[in-house]
């Protein structure tokens, strides 16, 4: 995807689960993906839980006996500050005290090669030489903006997307406080919004949260643990494996039950092998959140809480050894490696120590669905670890995850502590107003309710038709591009065009009869004992039940399982569909007054980018129906892989980070290929327009990506994200095309020069096999 978001699963199954912690901050960059839409929404609604989580960990086979208390000392000692003695009193500050500003980040010494990393806020100052367009096009175009724009208090980033996000929050906030809307959707939204800000009501939820944490703390045997994991509470809360509804990889008209690996606090196996600075910050944040809640809500001493945290990492480190690392997950053969179809009986036989059948029963999906085990070696390892000897470590994992997951849903003192931890984690100078966080969270949890309200007020059938027309024009152009790809055989080219012709277009918002039925979602009113934490769990459980019902039904490609009132666009390979969200149709991305060149450089390249995902290293493995199916000849696949390898090598040679480390081209290859494919598509359209202003077009593309992150946030986001930093998305994409090179008379020796033989775009170049 063009923005940091993708979609393969069904969001509503797990959207409000407390099982998976979020990024430390609710203020998220919307550009791109890195996780599925459902996982992304999940992470952003598991409020203030602490610690980055990725559901897409995989595994390699490990054997032998192991005690979890061994081998975790390195992680247990990470990020110790020596200032933990007053945790029992932490968080009791007033709202006014919580707004105390942290120091603004120090002046940054420029770093990055071959271009400085100008996406780090504060990197570009008046002392920074202004480059020419031939040497650093991104910075030449955005120099004044990056130099002069000041970050707002409580914000992590400057840029177009931050400005649009503020616009969307303002609009949605107005919808949430509009008492004249009497629809069921508005009633649910207002109720949850008010509960978020009801500090007295939150205090009444203390016993409820404490009981959730203590239920796990009271587990005293493996039998107790199995009973919990196989219960409804264990399934909708924290668990040691993920069970979710997916699209059948061989029959996209049906669902499939997917078994995913244990969620890791530090996100990926990589961090347990060699922890990065970002990982250390992540760990400190997550540990602090868990420790606070264990002390305040479970009555643990500091020593007992610390022991639980150390045991948690002992379990995570042991189980992570059997997972694929981030590079392996992004490799071209990852999909097939993570496709292992089996029956419930075979799954149970693969892990006889685990209560697999009970866990599947608690989920309640259609038992006739095929089951996919993403990582057999991980399950083997988990089964090996599931012993009485390791009970304390497994229980510690569950209780720490659960406790941290409730910190943003607890009383005001806990909430203020959560915000303090966010500021520390991200390097923020201050938090934003509580109403902002309330609006943002409700919009993510009750996303379809908010979408209906947003669409009714801010969207129109004409807007939907306009975007559909742009999508159809881009598809028609892509068809021409594929026809001219001389390195493809006629057989593969025909199938590629068939895939293009079968794309499902989902512009702006769902049709009236394609909204999901959320009528069964209800929230206990405060007058009847309801509170914010309970409400969040009630919504989660209701959405699980909706997901259960959907598992018995065929998949409807016209149904949206993603939030349209945020700024994003998506390609979903399992349904071969493209979505352009209503939230993106604002600001520099799209407005009626934009010139043709500006529209093509903005929303046009976004649409082209999403189409390109159908043919990127991942999307190219899915056929026109959404099934994983090899529709390539062996020679064509080899030629494709050769091009992808060239792209990977080029990015492996770029060093954007302070420590001098390089990009990981394997992780980035899909988004890079899509960026370049989208640009090729728009440039082909440009050739048909008399008097086309290429300078305006290229500058619009670069201005769209004018972004500056706080340094910590930049590292937290991009270390394992499948998108390159924005400046690379401009400076590595544009030089691939003659139109750019000719327009600015770029010559060998210039920073933006790329010789024709060294260009790495996979699609749209029309070149023969190399």
Question: What pLDDT, in 10s, does the model give residues 192-216?
Answer: 999 999 999 999 999 999 999 999 9
- The string of pLDDT tens digits covering residues 464-515 is 999 999 999 999 999 999 999 999 999 999 999 999 999 999 999 999 999 9
Reply yes or no on whether the pLDDT at 702 is more than 90.
Answer: yes
Structure tokens given for 681 = 């598509």
Rounded-to-integer distance, Cα 45 and Cα 11, Å: 11
Question: CB-based contacts of 95: which residues, under 8 Å, 6+ apart?
Answer: 412, 416, 434
What pLDDT does residue 332 have? 78
Whose CA is closest to 566, among 549, 576, 580?
Answer: 580
The residue extents of the domains of the chain are: 219-431, 460-508+566-744
pLDDT-derived band at 766 (thresholds 50, 70, 90) equals: low
Dump the DSSP string for 172-200.
Answer: HHHHHT-TT--SHHHHHHHHHHHHHT-HH
In sequence order, the β-bridge partners of residue 655 are 113
HEC string of 468-513 equals HHHHHHHHHHHHHHHHCCCCCCHHHHHHHHHHHHCCEEEEECCCHH
Work out the mean pLDDT of the chain and round it to a whole number: 87
Position 38 confidence tier, pLDDT thresholds 50, 70, 90: very low
Q: Over the stretch 77-99, which tens digit does the pLDDT of each residue have?
A: 444 433 433 443 444 443 334 43
pLDDT in tens, 529-558: 999 999 999 999 999 999 999 999 999 999
Question: What are the pLDDT digits (tens) for 377-400?
Answer: 999 999 999 999 999 999 999 999
- Tokens (6 digits) for 206: 């203390």
Nearest to 175 by CA among 458, 583, 549: 458
Asked if 723 and 729 count as a contact pair (C-beta separation under 8 A), the reply is yes
Question: Which pLDDT score is estimated for 492?
Answer: 96
pLDDT score recorded for residue 229: 96
Per-residue pLDDT band at 429 (split at 50, 70, 90): confident
Predicted pLDDT of residue 220:
97
Tell me the pLDDT tens digit for each residue of 569-597.
999 999 999 999 999 999 999 988 899 99
Kindly report which listed range (45-49, 219-223, 369-373, 561-565) carries the lowest average pLDDT score. 45-49
144 burial level (CB within 10 Å; 0-12, 13-18, 19+): exposed
Superfamily (CATH) of domain 460-508+566-744: Collagenase (Catalytic Domain) (3.40.390.10)
Q: Is-cis flag, bond preceding 722, omega within 30?
A: no
DSSP-derived secondary structure letter, 735: G
Question: Judging by DSSP bridges, how do beta strands 255-260 and 371-373 pair with one another?
Answer: parallel
Q: What is the pTM of this model?
A: 0.86
Q: Are 713 and 427 in contact (CB under 8 A)?
A: yes
Q: Is the pLDDT of residue 25 over 50?
A: no
Residues 615, 640: Cα–Cα separation, whole Å: 10
Q: Does position 102 have pLDDT exceeding 60, yes or no?
A: no
CA quadruple 214, 220, 222, 223: dihedral sign:
negative
pLDDT band for position 101 (cuts 50, 70, 90): very low
* Predicted confidence (pLDDT) per residue in 126-149, tens digit: 999 999 999 999 999 999 999 999
Q: Is 113 helix (H, G, I), strand (E, B) or coil?
A: strand
Give pLDDT tens digits for 14-24: 333 333 222 22
Cβ–Cβ < 8 Å for 555, 252: yes
Q: Which CATH superfamily is domain 219-431 in?
A: Neutral endopeptidase , domain2 (1.10.1380.10)
Angle, CA 33 vertex, CA 426 and CA 318 arms, to 5°: 70
The percentage of residues in the chain with a pLDDT greater than 90, rounded to a whole number, is 79
DSSP structure class, residue 663: P
| C-alpha span between 260 and 360 (Å, rounded) | 13
Query: How much of the chain exceeds pLDDT 70, in percent?
Result: 86
Above 60 in pLDDT, residue 59? no
């Amino acid at each position: 995807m063009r923005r940091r978001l993708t979609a393969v699963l069904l969001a509503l199954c797990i959207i409000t689960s407390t099982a998976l912690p979020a990024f430390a901050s609710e203020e998220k960059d919307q550009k791109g993906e890195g996780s599925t839409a459902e996982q992304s929404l999940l992470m952003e609604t598991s409020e203030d839980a602490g610690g980055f989580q990725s559901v897409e960990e995989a595994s390699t086979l490990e054997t032998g006996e192991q005690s979890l208390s061994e081998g975790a000392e390195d992680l247990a000692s990470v990020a110790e500050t020596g200032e933990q003695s007053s945790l029992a009193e932490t968080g009791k500050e007033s709202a006014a005290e919580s707004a105390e500003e942290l120091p603004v980040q120090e002046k940054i010494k420029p770093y990055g090669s071959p271009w400085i990393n100008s996406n780090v806020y504060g990197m570009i100052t008046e002392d920074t030489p202004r480059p020419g367009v031939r040497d650093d096009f991104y910075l030449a175009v955005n120099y004044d903006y990056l130099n002069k724009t000041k970050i707002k208090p409580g914000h992590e980033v400057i840029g177009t997307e931050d400005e649009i996000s503020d616009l969307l929050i303002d609009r949605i906030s107005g919808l949430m406080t509009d008492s004249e809307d009497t629809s069921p959707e508005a009633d649910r939204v207002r109720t949850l919004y008010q509960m978020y800000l009801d500090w007295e009501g939150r205090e009444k939820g203390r016993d409820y949260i404490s009981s959730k944490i203590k239920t796990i703390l009271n587990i005293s045997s493996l039998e107790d643990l199995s009973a919990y994991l196989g219960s409804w509470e264990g399934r909708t809360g924290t668990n040691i494996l993920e069970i979710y509804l997916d699209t059948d990889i061989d029959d996209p008209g049906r669902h499939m039950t997917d078994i995913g690996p244990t969620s890791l606090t530090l996100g990926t196996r990589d961090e347990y092998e060699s922890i990065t600075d970002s990982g250390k910050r992540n760990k400190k944040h997550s540990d602090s959140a868990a420790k606070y809640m264990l002390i305040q809500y479970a009555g643990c001493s500091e020593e007992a809480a610390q022991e639980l945290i150390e045991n948690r990492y002992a379990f995570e480190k042991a189980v992570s050894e059997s997972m694929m690392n981030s590079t392996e997950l992004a490799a071209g053969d990852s999909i097939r490696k993570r496709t292992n179809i089996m029956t419930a009986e075979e799954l149970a036989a693969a892990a006889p120590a685990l209560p697999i059948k009970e866990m599947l029963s608690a989920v309640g999906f259609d038992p006739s669905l095929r089951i996919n085990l993403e990582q057999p070696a991980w399950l083997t390892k988990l089964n090996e670890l599931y012993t009485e000897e390791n009970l304390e470590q497994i229980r510690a994992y569950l209780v720490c995850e659960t406790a941290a997951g409730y910190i943003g849903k607890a009383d005001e003192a806990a909430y203020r502590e959560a915000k303090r931890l966010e500021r520390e984690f991200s390097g923020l100078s201050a938090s934003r107003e509580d109403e902002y966080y309330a609006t943002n969270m409700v919009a993510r949890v009750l996303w379809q309710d908010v979408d209906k309200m947003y669409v009714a007020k801010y969207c129109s059938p004409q807007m939907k038709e306009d975007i559909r027309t742009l999508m159809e024009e881009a598809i028609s152009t892509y068809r021409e591009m594929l026809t001219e790809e001389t390195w493809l055989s006629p057989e593969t080219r025909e199938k590629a065009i068939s895939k293009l012709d079968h794309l499902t277009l989902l512009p702006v918002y769902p049709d009236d009869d394609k909204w999901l039925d959320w009528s069964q979602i209800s929230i206990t009113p405060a007058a009847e004992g309801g509170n914010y934490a309970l409400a969040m769990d009630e919504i989660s459980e209701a959405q699980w039940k909706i997901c259960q019902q959907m598992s018995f039904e065929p998949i409807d490609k016209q149904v949206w399982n993603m939030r349209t009132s945020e700024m994003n666009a998506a390609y979903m390979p399992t349904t071969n569909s493209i979505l352009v969200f209503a939230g993106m149709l604002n600001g520099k991305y799209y407005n009626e007054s934009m010139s043709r060149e500006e529209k093509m450089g903005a929303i046009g390249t976004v649409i082209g980018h999403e189409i390109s995902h159908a043919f990127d290293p991942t999307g190219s493995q899915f056929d026109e129906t959404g099934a994983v199916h090899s529709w390539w000849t062996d020679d064509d696949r080899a030629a494709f892989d050769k091009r992808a390898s060239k792209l990977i090598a080029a990015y492996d040679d770029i060093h954007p980070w302070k420590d001098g480390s390089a990009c990981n081209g394997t992780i980035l290859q899909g988004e890079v290929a899509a960026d370049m494919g989208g640009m090729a598509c728009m440039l082909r359209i440009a050739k048909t327009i008399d008097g086309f202003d290429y300078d305006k077009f290229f500058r619009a593309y670069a201005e769209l990506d004018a972004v500056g992150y706080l340094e910590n946030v930049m590292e937290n986001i991009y270390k394992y994200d499948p998108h390159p930093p924005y400046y690379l998305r401009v400076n590595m994409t544009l030089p691939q095309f003659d139109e750019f090179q000719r327009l600015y008379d770029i010559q060998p020796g210039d920073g933006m020069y790329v010789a024709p033989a060294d260009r790495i775009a996979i699609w749209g170049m029309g070149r023969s096999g190399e």
